[in-house]
Amino acid sequence: MHIKGLMFDPYNNAYIVVLRDEEHSDMLPIWVGKSEAGAISMAMENVTPPRPMTHDFMKSFLDAYNAKVISVVITDLSEHTYFAKIHLMYEDSEYTVDARPSDAIALALRSNAPVFANDTVITKQSSEELEQWLENLKPEDFGKLDS
C-alpha cells in the first residue's frame, strides 16, 4: 500500500493516515494521534531533526545490529483499533513483532520497507468506517445541513 497522505479529522481531533492500494484502488484510513502523525509526516517529508526522534532511534537500534525491516503488515481491525506486525530479518532468521500501525508505518518509511494490509482489514474497514463517521456526527453537524 502507498502512504497517500495525512489528514486532520476534526471530529476525533486526530489525524488520518491514508493508505492506498494502487492496483485495486482500495483506501485504508488509519486514525492516529498527533505525535504519531508527526513521526509519520517527518519521514514522508524527509525531515532530519537535530536529535533523533523515537523512530529514528528505533531505526538506529535495528541498524546497530544489521536487523532489516522486510515489511510491515496492517493485520487486524477490531473496535476501530488497528493492529500491525513488523517483519524483521536478523542473522538469517525472520522475526515478527506486534506493533501499532502508526509505529509500523513510521518505521517502514524510515527503512524503505513496503507496507501491506490484509484483505480482511480492507473489507472490514469499509463497514466500520461508516459506523465510526456516523457515531461521530454531532447534532451541530446536522444543523449545518439545514442552513
Q: Work out whether 103 is an interface residue with other proteins (CB under 8 A).
A: yes
Helix, coil or strand: residue 26: strand
Question: 108 near 115, Cβ under 8 Å?
Answer: yes
Size of the site for other proteins (CB under 8 A): 29
Q: Using CB under 8 A as the criterion, what x/- string covers residues 80-99 for binding other proteins? A: -x-x--x-x-x----x-xxx
- At its nearest, how many Å lie between other proteins and the CB of residue 48? 13
* CA–CA gap between residue 109 and residue 89 (Å, rounded): 17
> By CB under 8 A, what part of segment 118-147 binds other proteins?
none
Q: Work out whether 8 is an interface residue with other proteins (CB under 8 A).
A: no
* CA–CA gap between residue 37 and residue 101 (Å, rounded): 11
What is the distance in angstroms between the CA of the first residue and the CA of the last residue of the chain? 39
- At its nearest, how many Å lie between other proteins and the CB of residue 144? 30
* CA–CA gap between residue 114 and residue 117 (Å, rounded): 10
7-15, 53-61, 111-119, 129-137 -> range binding other proteins (CB under 8 A): 53-61
Q: Work out whether 24 is an interface residue with other proteins (CB under 8 A).
A: no
Q: Which DSSP state fits 10?
A: T
* The 14-21 sheet, strands edge to edge: 2-9, 14-21, 26-32
Judged by CB under 8 A, the residue of 1, 19, 53, 122 near other proteins is 53
Q: Work out whether 55 is an interface residue with other proteins (CB under 8 A).
A: yes
